[in-house]
Amino acid sequence: MCGRFTLASPGEAVGELFGLAEAPVLAPRFNIAPSQPVAAVRAAGEGRELVALRWGLIPSWAKDQAIGDRLINARSETAAEKPSFRTALRQRRCLLVADGFYEWRKDGPRKQPHLIRFRDRRPFAMAGLWERWVGPDGPVESCTILTTAANEVVAPIHERMPVILVPETHAAWLAPATRDPVMLAPLLRPLAAEELEAFPVSLRVNSPANDDPQCIAPLAS
């Protein structure tokens, strides 16, 4: 499960990675939590657009948006079969922009948060799905993060991790013409571990109210 992540990279780096027409203006965020808006890239006309989506997917058929709090992640192995995700997998895929994510390892009576990121701290894409739900106050666009089995870096901390898509696969994931989950399945694998690092961070991460550089600072050994 991925319950928190970070995005503090410059807009120029994000725009270049995702092939955007112009660099977005993004405030640095060090502890992004469910129900908050997140940066997502999706296909738009002949190009791509960056939009803000509520984290926690609300199916179009939901009676209210509270269900989104339980749908922040989707298992990539079963998403094609689940009513909450199967239509979005075929028709509404997106790239969720991040430069790190947190996982918690059980350490005695408590859980110790760890930050996982690329060693060079570059931004990356997590495979996402999005939906549009219309409620009494108007439409809400929301998203979920697809997860897969943990690689060698993440496995000592948690058994699952986000699907991280390398740049060469971004176009294939966003391609509107691709509707067959079987064609998408090869993309939904654990990222090779060589370029990642993981280290424990402060328990401050446990509270969404804490969103500052201290959240990503390695704990003193």
143 is catalytic: no
Tell me which DSSP letter residue 219 carries.
P
141 is catalytic: no
Alpha helices (runs of H) in the chain, residue ranges in sequence order: 11-18, 86-91, 170-174, 181-184
β-pair partners for 102: 4, 115
Catalytic residue among 2, 94, 143, 215: 2
- φ and ψ at residue 148, rounded to 5 degrees: -145, 180
Strand bridging mode 196-200 / 110-118? antiparallel
Measure the CA dihedral 69/70/75/76, to 10°: -40
Tell me which DSSP letter residue 201 carries.
B
Distances in Å between the Cα of 46 and the Cα atoms of 15, 17, 50, 51, 171 are 16, 17, 14, 16, 12
Catalytic residue among 103, 131, 141, 215: 103
Inter-residue contact 33 to 20 (CB < 8 Å) = no
Known catalytic residues are 2, 103
